[in-house]
Structure formats: structure tokens, C-alpha cells
Amino acid sequence: MKNIIAFLIVVVSFISCETKKDSKALPLNGTWRLISAETTEKDSTFSTFNPKTKMIKIINDTHFAFFNHDLNNGKDSSAVFFGGGGKYTLKDSIYTENLEFFNNRQWENGKFEFTVKIKNDTLTQKGIEKVEKLGIDRTITEKYVREK
């Protein structure tokens, strides 16, 4: 009987350690596909989501990257491809991207702060995009679904 109790204690301890380890993992980690995007400039709000493109964001423990391309394989005038990435920080629900790489080099070294929320498999990020040298100062809201 003592052996069974000792065995159960070991099993419960192992399971609780695994649960703790999993709960420390960043909930942002993974690959996310953009499903909607909205921009507010001054008093105007409009959709910036393009259903003719596909955008994903990949997030690991320290870095993020995003890629967007047209769905026509670049074979006509609607050809689009852009990508970027860098390091990020996450404190509570404040997610800050430090854009180190981007095909439009004028955006590089930008710091963009967002409030993030995750509900089920949906990530929503909202924050300000400001690039003074390009005259950009707008609020964006993006929704992503976790790719499986």
C-alpha cells in the first residue's frame, strides 16, 4: 500500500510540474494567419485587409516575423510580397515589436506597441503605427487565427 501511495505522489508531482511548465509557455508562440485588419487615421476608419493576399505572422520566444504575398503566385500586376521581423517583448498584454528587418527599409528600427488579446485560437492586436519620416501615424487593429 505504501508503494502505491508513493507511486501516486510521484505521478501527481510529475503531472503538476508538466502543467506548470506548459503554463509558462508564451501563448503567442506559433504561426498566425491574418483574417482582418482595420486602420484608423484621424477621424476615418477603414478595412486594410486584402482577401487577394495571405499574411502570416510567426512568433517564438524572442522573435517575430511576418510575410505577405498575393494568391496569384506573382503572375500579374497584383504581385505582392513583403516581409519583416525582429525581436519583441511581452509584458502582461503589452506586446512591443522592434522591427529590425523589413523590405521597406524606412520602417526598420521602428518600435511598435500593441495591446494583445487571445481568445481561443484568435489573436487580436491593437496599437499605434508611427513612422515620422514617412508621415505615418495611425491606429491599427489586426486579427489573426492560429494556423494548425
Specify the pTM: 0.80
3-state secondary structure of 6: helix
- In degrees rounded to 5, what are phi and psi of residue 20? -60, -45
Cβ atoms 113, 104 nearer than 8 A? no
Q: Is a pLDDT exceeding 80 seen at residue 46?
A: yes
Please name the residue that has the C-alpha cell 512591443: 96
Rg (CA), the chain: 20
- Kindly state the average pLDDT of the residues 118-128: 97
pLDDT at 4: 53
CA–CA distances in Å: residue 60 to residues 31, 83, 131? 9, 16, 25
Q: CA 114, CA 128: separation in Å to the nearest integer?
A: 7
The cell numbers describing 53, all together, are 493576399
* Most confident residue range from 11-25, 56-70, 72-86: 56-70
pLDDT tens for each residue of 137-147: 999 999 999 99
**What is the per-residue pLDDT for 12?**
47
E-assigned strands of the chain? 30-41, 44-47, 53-59, 63-70, 81-91, 94-102, 110-119, 122-131, 136-146
